[in-house]
Amino acid sequence: MIKKIDITNPGISKEVLNIQIPSYKIEAEIIDFYDIPPLKDTVQSLQQSGETFFGYYLNDELCGVISIKTDDRIIDIHRLMVHPDHFRKGIAKKLLKFVEGGNKEKSATIIVSTGTKNTPAIDFYLKMDFSKTEEKSVSEGLSLTSFKKEI
């Protein structure tokens, strides 16, 4: 089940961090860059992010999270993460489809970025019909690839 979650609730923010930290540690290993911002988040920084969070629950356990910011008809995915214990179960796809489905009545563009070396994420977005729009170096050792999809 997917539902909107109240990130301002400290308990829920802690649950989200319990998914975010192990998930982004895997990404850090894949891209060989360990100074990524999601690994520095705290309960307070999540609460102040200004993002809208949706959680995927399996038997009342939060297993995956997507967060977005919307501006006019742009949906900017800030986080899409699944706890490593739940990789390869289709949770990321379900969360993405949920966000897409919530905007079917009006045309919109979804944008997202990931580490250029994060091959599993790159392959995922391409498989989900996103188009690569840009690749840019953001610091020594870190490059990001951006994608968009019209819905």
**Digit-coded pLDDT (tens) for 1-21:** 999 999 999 999 999 999 999
State yes or no: pLDDT of 33 exceeds 80: yes
pLDDT at residue 18 in the model: 97
Q: What is the mean pLDDT of residues 101-124?
A: 87
Across the chain, what does the average pLDDT equal?
Answer: 94
The confidence band for 104, taking pLDDT boundaries of 50, 70 and 90, is low
Domain 2-150 -> CATH class: alpha beta
Q: Which segments of 6-148 does DSSP mark as H helices, in order?
A: 10-31, 43-47, 91-101, 119-127
How crowded is the C-beta side of 117, counted as CA atoms within 13 Å?
Answer: 13
**Digit-coded pLDDT (tens) for 38-60:** 999 999 999 999 999 999 999 99
Among 49, 63, 48, CA closest to 15:
63
In the chain, % of residues over pLDDT 90: 86
> Which distant-in-sequence residues (6+ apart) come within 8 Å of 88 by Cβ?
none
Domain ranges of the chain: 2-150
